[in-house]
Structure 1
Amino acid sequence: MPDTDPPPSRLQLTGYAALQVASVVPLVVLFVLWVAGGVLMVIWVGALLLTAVIPVTRGLANAHRRMASRVLSSPVPTPYVPTEGRKLLARLRIVATDPMTWRDLGWMLAAMTVGFAISLVTVVLLLGVVSGWIWYFAVEPLMRLRSTIDRAFLSPGTTDRLERRVEVLTETRADVVDDSAAELRRLERDLHDGAQARLVALSLSLGMADAVFASDPDAARKLVNDARQTSDAALGELRSVVRGIHPPVLADRGLVGAVQALALDMAVPVSIEASLAGRPSASVESAVYFAVAECLANIGKHAGAENAWIRVSYDRDVLLAEIGDDGSGGADPDTGTGMRGVMRRLGAFDGTMMVSSPVGGPTLVTLEVPCDLSSPRTTPCSEPA
């Protein structure tokens, strides 16, 4: 990550400046092609021209993002709206409505003028005997100024960030509502088909026992015994429903202990590297626990693996869980309702799920959830005691 690398030296900064000076020529060419493509959009030539220009422009902009990130020791994200898998006209429509497209064009103008002048001065100062002393003291502030200009154009503005945040929150809220409704339907179905049916049978058995108690005590005793077995089964199903809501092992032992318990039930050997200095909120624990459980279930059903592994850690306010196996690979999260449910559940906490599963394996699922950890000896502060 940029914020963990050592800051670039003065010579490296000057090298960045030289690259920026050299990039002015392709920037001018690309800008002219953008203008030409926009004018020629009335015919197919413009669309084809822009299709070729867009990835080159974004590649060059990303290179300047990386340089700015190194100089400023701060990440500069690449916030383009994805266009993969779209047809030509749909892809151009997305690019045209993406605010970052217009910020890129503004950056091109700034880079060809003010930015070019700053970078050129930085390079020229190094070449003179007298100016070399000026370069020694001026190279860092000059390059920070240039990188600040690049970041201002190449990062989403405040309005863009707020709009995207609203979109994400709207999507995750809808997913949470749908997921909650589905969970309620599942609980209702489990209670109706399981415990409720057994309780009805229990009531009938006790009623029949009461009816024959005086005339046939042996038959009544048998009915009472049947009722006791029915009540035990109903109690077991109720416990199963409760475990599906929030497993007791999760409440008692925390996420690490609950994940270890999941691994013990696997037919495949599972190695675990898990260590947390505290506990996340109960809702985050539950989301990550069920996500890990779904991944392990998929390994047991589909992977054909001989070994699996789980790593749970916490770094920089992010809870990280990695679940992998040495199976056949080819897992596609878009084709399984379980994995889509995991993504929706994690999305409610701004969490993400990434899947790497080439054909032939191995498969690695990475879960990341931003959260705080409470003291391991106390109840998480966001949950009632």
Structure 2
Amino acid sequence: MTASITADDNDRDDRPPPPRLAFDRNTWKEIAYLLGNLPVALIGFVYATSAIFTGVGLSVTVIGLPLLALALAGARLLGRAERARARVLLGIRIDEPSPLHRPHRGDGHLTWLWASLKDPVAWRSVLYSFIRLPWGVLTFAVTTVSLFVLWPVLPFIARGLTNADRAMARGLLSPSDELERRIAELESDRGVVIDTAAADLRRIERDLHDGAQARLVALAMGLGLAKEKLLEDPDTAALMVDEAHGEVKLALQELRDLARGIHPAVLTDRGLDAALSSIAARCTAPVKVTVDLAGRPAEAIEGIAYFTVSELLQNVSKHAQAKSVTVDVWRADDRLLIQVKDDGRGGARLDGGTGMAGLAERLGAVDGLFLLDSPEGGPTTVTAELPWRERSSR
């Protein structure tokens, strides 16, 4: 219901208001906007000509391009102020453009500089400042004269002039919807991928340090002691070697588990069907796995699908108290679809601390979708979509 109301409001915003004869509150706001056009246009024009042209003129020097980037950042702020003025006095709602890309660690200042110099939002704000000066002079003059000479028809004049202002603001100060939204999403997704990779590396390092590495250190110490007792007490040395043999087996198992957590061999060798059946066998509830794929997707997509199902089945084992689970994987056009359904107690949420939010972020980072339906009392259905990318022919 809320989404429908918002959409209707936006539709109404896109239509210029009809002219009115009465001097109501909206008319006085429009008159105030028109009278403010000249001083605001003067400020914007002076800033654009001085700051931008100075930066362009000095671009052959070391300080020129950084100065131009700062000038464009200031132009962004002017655009934000104009959107706020139009929102308050003209009643139009213009979405704020996505924030300028902030470089990640290691990108350096050149990344920020290049992003600032090619920022379309800032350049459109500069263009807006240039063309507003003659328009500001015209609207100020016409409104001032109409206040004293054409009073009866001033509401019509104000509405006509501000409708032109509305169109101008929407055309130059609105975000270039799809492209800028997509750029913002890709920047956000890049951060998610970097953070996820860093977390995985920390997990692997922790598992190695606390598991196999500690066990191998103890194994080396045990073998050293056995070597010392080999001549003087062969029986004790034999027992110590036997214990070391058991430690070796445990260390190998931990390393296998760690390798499986990075990328399981069964997934590489036999694909999703066999790999998902393998992790299904470890779930506390019976799991029925159905994989309907004519071919195999790209290695990265296949790996994400595997670990998504793996984490969902772990959640079932830990939280769901389910008696049965179904896992279905199939392809629909250019999407790989995964659905995991259990008959447990339900009540799962993206913010419930079960890792659902992390899964949603990981899928979003590769242009995927994550849908959760889990009413109290169950059942819980998770549907995930991933882009289908063909497997390389290596």
Question: Which one of 216, 233, 240 corresponds to residue 250 of structure 2?
Answer: 233
* Alignment-derived partner of residue 307 in structure 2: 290
> CA distance change for structure 1 residues 292 and 29 in 2, over 3 Å: closer, same or farther?
closer
Counterpart code for 2:383: T
Alignment of 1:144-183 (within 5 A): 159-183=176-200
Q: CA deviation at 1:183?
A: 0.7
- Of 89, 94, 97, 1:96 maps to 94
Query: Which residue among 14, 17, 22 is the counterpart of 1:32?
Result: 17
Aligned to 2:324: 307
- Rate the CA distance shift 1:226–1:273 in 2: closer, same or farther, 3 A: closer
DSSP 3-state at the match of 1:319: strand
Identity %: 43
For the pair shown, which has the larger CA radius of gyration, 1 or 2? Answer: 2
What secondary structure is seen at the aligned counterpart in 1 of 2:344? coil
CA distance in 2, matches of 1:271, 1:220: 50
Give the one of 362, 366, 373 matched to 2:379: 362
**SS of match in other structure, 1:334:** coil
Pair 1:236–1:39, CA change in 2 (3 A): farther
Q: Give the SS at the match of 1:333.
A: coil
How far apart are the structure 2 equivalents of 1:342 and 1:351?
10
- Judged with a 3 Å threshold, the aligned counterparts in structure 2 of structure 1 residues 28 and 188 are, in CA distance, closer, same or farther, namely closer
Secondary structure in 2 matching 1:328: coil
Q: Within the alignment, does 1:339 sit opposite 2:356 as a pair?
A: yes
- Residues 315 and 354, structure 2, Cα contact 8 Å, conserved in 1: no
Q: C-alpha displacement at 1:98, in angstroms?
A: 5.2
Q: CA deviation at 1:38?
A: 7.2
1:350 and 2:367 are equivalent in the alignment: yes
Match of 2:298 in 1: 281
Unaligned stretches of 5+ residues in structure 2: 1-7, 31-83, 98-169
Partner in structure 1 of residue 108 of structure 2: none
Find the counterpart in structure 1 of residue 388 from structure 2.
371
Q: 1:304 to 1:95 in 2, by over 3 A?
A: farther
Give the 5 Å matches for 1:1-385.
Answer: 32=17, 96-97=94-95, 159-336=176-353, 338-374=355-391, 380-381=392-393, 385=394
Q: In 2, Cα distance between the equivalents of 1:253 and 1:213?
A: 47
Equivalents in 1 of 2:234, 2:29: separation in Å?
93
Distance 1:240 1:313 in 2: 28
Paired residue for 2:47? none
The normalised TM-score by structure 2 is 0.56
Counterpart AA for 1:361: G
SS of residue matched to 1:350: coil
Amino acid at match of 2:304: A
How many angstroms apart in 2 are the aligned matches of 1:190 and 1:339? Answer: 23
Q: Summarize deviations over 1:266-325 as a string: whole Å, max 9, x none.
A: 332323332111111121111111111111222222223232212111111100001112
Greater than 4 Å deviation, 4+ residue runs: 26-31, 33-42, 92-95
Distance 1:219 1:185 in 2: 40
CA contact (8 A) 1:288 1:346 kept: no
Write out per-residue CA displacement over residues 51-96 of structure 1, whole angstroms, 9 at most, x where no aligned residue.
Answer: xxxxxxxxxxxxxxxxxxxxxxxxxxxxxxxxxxxxxx9xx99953
- TM-score, L = length of structure 1: 0.58
Q: 1:131 maps to what in 2?
A: none
In the alignment, what sits opposite 1:62? none
CA distance in 1 between counterparts of 2:14 and 2:309 reads 50
How far did 1:41 drift?
A: 8.3
**Partner secondary structure for residue 305 of structure 1:** coil
* Contact 1:281 1:373 (8 Å CA) reproduced: yes
What is the root-mean-square deviation of aligned Cα atoms in Å?
3.4
Q: Distance in 1 between matches of 2:19 and 2:341?
A: 45
Deviation readout 1:160-194 (Å, 9 max, x if unpaired):
22211111111111111111111111111111111
Offset, 1:373: 3.4
- Pairwise CA distance, 1:362: 2.1
CA distance in 2, matches of 1:218, 1:37: 101
